[in-house]
């Protein structure tokens, strides 16, 4: 049973406004809502109202008031934002770690306010590789090594991480300037928040996905070195009946930047159905 007793954090958000249907974009780790800068214009051009926000402890949002970074706490922030803005008929798009909030929101709060959802290079259904989940992609000990590496030398860790984030087949698929922009966003994150969220990636979203009935898009790069498509995207597609799977050829993890036009076209087509 989810523990939703965490008090929501006051998170920084941006809202394009307008009369269009609302879309909430939920960013990946260790970035912020600003990481959607290549996608927001395409969605607004399609007549949609776009809301981005910074996860607690990331970007311009304060660290967790209760020290919690588990998905029940993180999703409380999303639910609070949706309710404060009174969003209805909303679409939720979660990139990477952001897919966890999308799944947990449905699992905890249901679909009354939700029109559709999208998982972009996202971590559900269950990233942890274990005896109970042999098809997972990240053993707990590897997650702990990542946490230790981030604490020991943050800049070096993020340099390597952002390189892998945007690489496919060992080749960087974005410009060095684009990678540097991601590094700068990552540098804004609170260290304790960034470390704690690595543990949260290992949570199981299987039961949350079982509650999904709204239209669902799964979009994933076929060469994702951070969250492999066979570990996450393919399995989410299989678990959510009627979901649409779009696989981006030669796509790394950060497909919203590396394959901007292809990514935006697929997301816009889905959201405007």
Helix, strand counts (H, E) of the chain: 11, 11
- Residue 77 is encoded by which pair of tokens? 């922030």
Distance CA 249, CA 21 (A): 30
Out of 27, 109, 237, 253, pick the active-site residue: 253
- Examine the residue annotation and report whether 253 is marked as an active-site residue of this protein: yes
Parallel, antiparallel or unpaired: strands 244-248 and 216-221: parallel
- Residue 74 is encoded by which pair of tokens? 């993180």
Q: Which residue has the tokens 């699992």?
A: 107
Distance CA 55, CA 53 (A): 6
Instruction: Go through the chain and tell me how many residues it has.
Output: 273
- Examine the residue annotation and report whether 112 is marked as an active-site residue of this protein: no
Distance CA 231, CA 124 (A): 9
First-to-last CA distance in the chain?
34
Out of 224, 232, 243, 258, pick the active-site residue: 224
Out of 35, 91, 96, 116, pick the active-site residue: 96
* DSSP one-letter string for 138-166: EEHHHHHHHHHHHHH-HHHHHHHHHHHHT
Q: Which residue has the tokens 């607004």?
A: 44
- Examine the residue annotation and report whether 224 is marked as an active-site residue of this protein: yes
47 φψ region: left (φ > 0), alpha (ψ -120 to 50), beta (else): left
Q: Which residue has the tokens 């966003």?
A: 185
Residues annotated catalytic, as ranges: 96, 224, 253
């Amino acid at each position: 049973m989810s523990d939703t007793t965490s008090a929501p954090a006051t998170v920084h958000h941006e809202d394009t406004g307008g009369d269009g249907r609302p879309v909430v974009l939920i960013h990946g780790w260790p970035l912020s809502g600003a990481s959607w800068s290549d996608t927001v214009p395409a969605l607004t051009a399609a007549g949609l109202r776009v809301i981005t926000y910074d996860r607690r402890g990331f970007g311009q949002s304060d660290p967790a008031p209760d020290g919690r970074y588990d998905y029940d706490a993180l999703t409380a922030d999303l639910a609070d934002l949706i309710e404060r803005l009174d969003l209805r008929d909303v679409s939720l798009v979660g990139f990477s770690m952001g897919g966890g909030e999308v799944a947990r929101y449905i699992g905890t709060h249901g679909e009354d306010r939700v029109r559709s959802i999208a998982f972009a290079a996202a971590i559900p259904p269950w990233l942890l590789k274990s005896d109970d989940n042999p098809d997972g992609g990240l053993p707990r000990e590897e997650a702990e090594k990542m946490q230790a590496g981030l604490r020991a030398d943050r800049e070096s860790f993020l340099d390597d991480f952002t390189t892998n984030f945007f690489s496919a087949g060992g080749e960087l698929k974005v410009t060095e300037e684009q990678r540097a922009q991601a590094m700068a966003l990552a540098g804004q994150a609170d260290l304790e928040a960034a470390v704690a969220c690595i543990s949260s990636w290992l949570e199981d979203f299987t039961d949350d996905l079982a509650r999904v009935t709204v239209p669902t898009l799964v979009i994933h790069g076929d060469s994702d070195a951070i969250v492999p498509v066979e570990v996450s995207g393919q399995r989410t597609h299989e678990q959510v009946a009627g979901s649409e799977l779009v696989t981006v050829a030669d796509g790394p993890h950060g497909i919203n930047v590396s394959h901007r036009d292809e990514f935006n076209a697929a997301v816009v087509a889905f959201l405007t159905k």
